[in-house]
Structure 1
Amino acid sequence: MSFITEINKVYDDKQIEKSLRKRIFFGFLIVTSIISLLFIVEGYDSAVDFGKQAEGFQLHENAIHVVETLEFLDANSDENIEEYMNISDHLHTRNEAAVIYMLNGREVVSSSDLSTEHLNKLIPLIRTIDKESNYDRHYYHSKMCDDEYCIVECDGYEYNWMIYHSDMYGDVLVIQKYNLKELARDYVIPRMLTSAFVVIWLGIWSSFGIALVLSKLISKYQKSLQFHVFHDRVTKLPNEKYLIDKLYHINDIDDSIEIYGLVMISVDNIDSIQSLHGLEVRELLMSKVAKTINDNIDGCVVGNYSRDVFYVLFSYDEHKLKTIKNLFTNFPCKEFNVSRVIFNPVFSLGVNSFSDDFYSPNEVISGACSALKKAKDYRSGCVVFTDADGKRINTNNLLNQDLDNAIKNQEFVLHYQPKISLIYNEIVGVEALIRWNHPKRGIIYPDQFIHLIENSSIAKKFTANVADMAIHQINEWASKGLDIKVAINVSPYDLADEEFSNYLLSLFASGTLKRHQIEIELTEVEHTVDIKHLSKVLYQLRDIGVDCSIDDFGTGMGSLTYLKDIPVHAVKIDKSFVMDMDVNPASEAITESTIKLANKLGCKVIAEGIENACIERMLFERKCDVAQGYHYSKPLSADELADYIFDYNQQQEEKIKLFIID
Structure 2
Amino acid sequence: MFTKPKLTRQASIRPRLILACLAVSLLVSGIYVTVSYRLAADVNIESERRAMSQIISFIANIPLSDKQRSPLPDREVLSQIVNTDVASFIHVKSTQNSISSAFRIDSSVSKQLLDITASRNDDDDAIIMLNDRCFIWLRMSFGEDTITYLKETTLLDVTLRLVAKRLLITSVIVFWIAVWLALTLSSIIAKRAEEVNDKLEELATHDSLTGLPNRLYLTEILRSIVEKKEDNTQQGCLFGVDLDKFKEVNDSFGHSTGDKLLMALSQRILTVVQPPNELMRLGGDEFIIWAPDLTIAQGKILAQELKNICDTTIPINGLEINTGASVGFAHYPTHTTSPETLLSCADSAMYKAKKQRSGWEVYDEHIVLSNERDVMLKAGLNEALANNELVLHFQPKVDMRTGEIVSVEGLCRWEHPSLGLLMPYAFIDLIEHSGKVQDFGRYIVKQAICCAASWQKEGIRVPIAINLSPYNLLDPGLIAFIEQTLTQAQLSAHFIHIELTENETSLNINYIQEALEKIRRLGIKIAIDDFGTGMSSLAYLDTLKADTIKIDRTFISDLESNKGHRAIVSAAVDLAKSFECNVVAEGVETKQHADLLLSMGCHIAQGYYYAKPMPEKEMKQLIETGILPDALAL
Instruction: State the Cα distance separating 1:490 from its structure 2 match.
Output: 1.8
Alignment CA distance shift 1:7-1:62 (3 Å): same
1:552 equivalent among 530, 534, 547: 530
Candidates 319, 331, 338, aligned match of 1:354: 331
Are residues 1:435 and 2:414 paired? yes
- Residue 100 of structure 1 and its aligned partner are, at CA, apart by 3.9
1:7 match: secondary structure: coil
CA contact (8 A) 1:264 1:350 kept: yes
Residue of structure 2 equivalent to 1:24: 14
Q: Is it true that 1:406 corresponds to 2:381 in the alignment?
A: yes
> Cα distance, 1:520 vs. partner?
2.0
**Partner in structure 2 of residue 103 of structure 1:** 94
What's 1:132 paired with? none
Name which of 250, 261, 276 aligns with 1:301.
Answer: 276
Separation in 1 of the partners of 2:602 and 2:117? 134
Aligned to 1:7: 2
Tell me the equivalent position of 1:488. Answer: 466
CA shift, 1:40, in A, is 3.7
Residues 421, 448 of structure 1: CA spacing in aligned structure 2 closer, same or farther, 3 A cutoff? closer
Instruction: Please report how far the alpha carbon of residue 433 of structure 1 lies from its aligned counterpart in structure 2 after TM superposition.
Output: 1.0
Instruction: Provide Cα deviations, 1:304-332, integer angstroms capped at 9, x if missing partner.
Output: 6569999794644799999999999xx9x
AA matched with 1:414: L
**Partner Cα distance (1:104, 1:442) in 2:** 126
SS at 2:73's partner residue?
helix
Q: Which residue of 2 is the match for residue 43 of structure 1?
A: 33
Does structure 1 conserve the Cα–Cα contact (< 8 Å) formed by 2:240 and 2:288?
A: yes
Is the aligned partner of 1:417 residue 2:412?
no
> Per-residue displacement from partner, 1:419-469 (whole Å, max 9, x unpaired)?
546458568555151538497x66553324434554x471xx323333136
C-alpha distance in 1, partners of 2:444/2:205?
51
Alignment correspondent of 2:246? none
TM-score normalised by structure 1 residue count: 0.63
Partner SS, residue 502 of structure 2: coil
After superposition, give the CA deviation of every residue in 1:265-292 in whole Å (9 maximum; x if it has no partner). Answer: 999xxx9xx99xx99x999999999999
> How far apart are 1:541 and its partner, in Å?
1.6
Aligned to 2:502, which of 520, 524, 528?
Answer: 524
Aligned to 1:464: 439
RMSD: 6.4
**Counterpart Cα distance in 2 of 1:326 and 1:614:** 39
Q: Which runs of 5+ in 1 are unaligned?
A: 1-5, 130-141, 332-340, 656-662
Q: Secondary structure at the match of 1:59?
A: helix
Given that 1:59 and 1:174 are in contact with CA atoms closer than 8 Å, whether structure 2 keeps it comes out as no
CA distance in 2, matches of 1:527, 1:116: 123
SS across alignment from 1:417: strand
Amino acid at match of 1:435: W
Distance 1:196 1:320, change over 3 A: farther
Moved more, 478-487 or 57-66: 478-487
Please give the per-residue CA displacement for 1:127-159, whole angstroms capped at 9, x wherever unaligned.
Answer: 666xxxxxxxxxxxx5xx4xx454586768786
Distance of 1:176 and 1:482 partners within structure 2: 136
- Specify the code of the residue in structure 2 equivalent to 1:362: L
Among 169, 192, 203, the alignment partner of 2:144 is: 169
Deviations 1:520-543 (A, max 9, x none): 221234584453553332222222
C-alpha contact 2:549 2:581 (8 A) present in aligned 1: yes
C-alpha contact 1:231 1:237 (8 A) present in aligned 2 = yes
The farther-off stretch of 625-634 and 305-314 is 305-314
Give the Å deviation of 1:43. Answer: 0.7
Residues 464-484 of structure 1, C-alpha deviations (whole Å, 9 max, x = no match): 333136426745986895698
Q: Is the 8 A contact 1:260 1:315 kept in 2?
A: yes
Q: 1: CA distance between counterparts of 2:571 and 2:269?
A: 50
Aligned ranges for residues 634-645 of structure 1 at < 5 Å?
A: 634-636=613-615, 641=616, 643-644=617-618
Name the SS for the 2:533 alignment partner.
coil
Paired residues, number: 590
- Determine the C-alpha separation between the residues in 1 that align with 2:412 and 2:96: 130
Distance 1:635 1:35, change over 3 A: farther
Equivalent residues in 2 for 1:211-250 (5 A)?
A: 245-246=220-221, 248-249=223-224
Q: In the aligned structure 2, how far is the partner of 1:580 from the partner of 1:312?
A: 43
- Equivalent-residue separation in structure 1 for 2:439 and 2:217 (angstroms): 43
1:124-523 matched pairs, under 5 angstroms = 145=122, 148-150=123-125, 163-166=139-142, 168-175=143-150, 186-189=161-164, 191-196=166-171, 245-246=220-221, 248-249=223-224, 252=228, 260=236, 300-301=275-276, 305=280, 313=291, 315-316=293-294, 354-355=331-332, 358=336, 360=339, 362=343, 385-387=361-363, 395=370, 399=374, 403=378, 406-407=381-382, 410=385, 413-420=389-396, 422=398, 425=404, 428=407, 431-435=410-414, 437=416, 444-451=422-429, 453-454=431-432, 456=433, 458=435, 461-468=436-443, 470-471=445-446, 474-475=449-450, 486-505=464-483, 507=485, 511=488, 514-516=491-493, 518-523=496-501
How many angstroms apart in 1 are the aligned matches of 2:428 and 2:45? 99
SS class of match (1:249): helix
Taking the aligned partners of 2:240 and 2:521, their CA distance within structure 1 comes to: 51
Deviations 1:71-120 (A, max 9, x none): 34327952666527786985689976544443352123344556654565
Partner of 2:313: none
Answer whether contact 1:515 1:544 (CA < 8 A) is retained.
no
Change (3 A) 1:478 1:351: closer
SS in 2 for 1:301: coil
Paired with 1:265 and 1:595, the residues of 2 have a C-alpha distance of 40
SS in 1 for 2:56: helix
Contact 2:21 2:182 in 1 (8 A): no
Identify the range of structure 1 (73-82 vs 176-185) with the bigger mean alpha-carbon deviation.
Answer: 176-185
Instruction: Provide closer, same or farther for how the CA distance between residues 229 and 30 of structure 1 changes in structure 2, counting only shifts above 3 A.
Output: closer
Instruction: Tell me which of 66, 75, 88 is aligned to 2:56.
Output: 66
Match for 2:14: what amino acid? Answer: I
- How far apart, in 2, do the equivalents of 1:313 and 1:584 lie? 43
Summarize the Cα distance change of 1:68–1:479 in structure 2 as closer, same or farther, 3 Å threshold: farther
SS in 2 for 1:498: coil
**Partner residue in 2 for 1:334:** none
Identity of aligned residues (%): 17
CA contact (8 A) 1:87 1:99 kept: no
Taking structure 1 as reference, are residues 586 and 95 closer, same or farther at Cα in structure 2, changes over 3 Å only?
farther
Give the 3-state SS of the residue equivalent to 1:109 in structure 2.
Answer: strand
Take 1:215 and 1:178, find their aligned partners in 2: how far apart are those partners? 54
Secondary structure of the structure 1 residue equivalent to 2:52? helix
Does the CA contact (< 8 Å) of 1:577 and 1:591 recur in 2? yes
Seen in structure 2, the aligned counterparts of structure 1 residues 445 and 175 have a Cα distance that, compared at 3 Å, is farther
Q: How many Å separate the matches in 2 of 1:308 and 1:199?
A: 60
SS for the counterpart of 1:47 is helix
Distance in 2 separating the partners of 1:78 and 1:569 = 150
